[in-house]
Amino acid sequence: MASSAALREAQRELENKANDLSKLQKDIAKNHQVRKKYTIQLGENELVLKELDLLREGANIYKLIGPVLVKQDLAEANANVRKRIEYISAELKRLDATLQDLEEKQNSKKEAILKSQQKIQSLQAGKGKA
């Protein structure tokens, strides 16, 4: 009877761990998506910066804000884009760090799950013998 209780306990533990793992995996997937979005944005911003660099001094630049086009200075637009690129790069770095962290957590979780699975198996074997 005691062994069956222990077995149930172990199974519950395993379930919890499996839930945690799936949560972690979801996080990782989400992280990947965000990362992808940021990478695309970074590429776009770099393209914009390149074009802005190619524009001549007196060119008219507009920024679409909501439904209206607001006229902007070339220098201002340039600075804005640069800042945005900086921000996105920092964000990408941060995402990388968190991703690594999450992956480490995932690996440790996997190991833990493996261990509890083995535990359950041994418990079941012991039960079978008894």
Partner 1 sequence: MDGMGKGTVTPLASLFPVEESQKAAKRVQDTIAEKEKELDHLRVFIADNNNLINLVQKLPEELHHDIMVPFGKAAFFPGRLIHTNEFLVLLGEGYYADRTSKQTIEVLRRRGKSLESQVNSLEAIIKDHKAEASFFIATASEAAGGLVEIREDYVEENPSKQDLKSGPLKQDVSGLAGAERETTSVDDKEFARMMARLDELEEEERAAERGNLDDENEGAISDFDEISYQRPSDNNLQNSEDIQRRMALKQTNDIATKFPKEHKYQDDMADHFGSLALQSQVRELSEGKTMAKNLKNSDASEMSTIYPEEKIVHATNTSKAEVQYQASRPSDDSQKCYQQASTSSTVGHADHTQRNSRKEDSTSSQVGCQTSEPSFDSRRAFTGSIIEHAENLPKTSGEQNSSSSLVSGSQPSKPVSRFKMQRR
Residues that bind partner 1 (CB under 8 A): 41, 44-45, 47-48, 50-52, 54-55, 59-65, 69, 72, 77, 81, 84
Smallest distance from the beta carbon of 26 to partner 1, in angstroms? 20
Of 44 and 103, nearer to partner 1 (C-beta) is 44
Phi, psi (deg, nearest 5) at residue 33:
-60, -45
Across the chain, the runs of DSSP E, i.e. the strands, are: 61-65, 68-72
| CA distance to 78, 86, 94, 109, per residue, from 102 (Å) | 36, 24, 12, 10
68 bridge partner residues: 65
Smallest distance from the beta carbon of 43 to partner 1, in angstroms? 8
Of 9 and 76, nearer to partner 1 (C-beta) is 76
